[in-house]
Amino acid sequence: MIKELESQNANTLVYELEDYISQYEIEIIDKGIDALLKNRSKVNLMIAVNVKGENLGALVKEFQVGIKYWNKVNKIAYVTDKKYWKTLVEIDNIFTKIKEKYFNIDDIGKAWDWLNAD
């Protein structure tokens, strides 16, 4: 399940993901990025993650969206209390030029500071 949350910044989309990630959730994020890019040259994402897993369709769609917005997404902050996401984000950073960073749920202020810094 996906829910778009209010953002503190006009160039940042905020989503909360729960349960299992499917292709549907990634398509919602894709449409959000596309809409925001009509008025901006770059976007940031903050994603609050509380999921149990994702299906293969979601992984494929994530790859496609990553390629589509390769030069348009600046940073992605993953906010969660699931420690294994830190390792997943570090591995993902090896394969993409999009800056991604893990933040514990208690450090959401630091996540906003990081997204706003350039």
The CATH number linked to 53 is 3.30.750.24
Residue range of the domain that includes 53: 2-116
The predicted model gives 76-86 an average pLDDT of 91
The encoded tokens of residue 106 equal 């208690």
The encoded tokens of residue 31 equal 């449409």
pLDDT at 118 over 80: no
The predicted model gives 105-109 an average pLDDT of 95
The predicted model gives 38-55 an average pLDDT of 91
The predicted model gives 8-28 an average pLDDT of 94
Three-class SS state of 17:
strand
Cα angle for residues 23, 26, 32 (degrees, 5° grid):
145
Q: Where are the alpha helices (DSSP H) in 1-118?
A: 23-36, 56-68, 84-95, 108-116
Q: Give pLDDT, residue 11.
A: 95
pTM of the model: 0.91
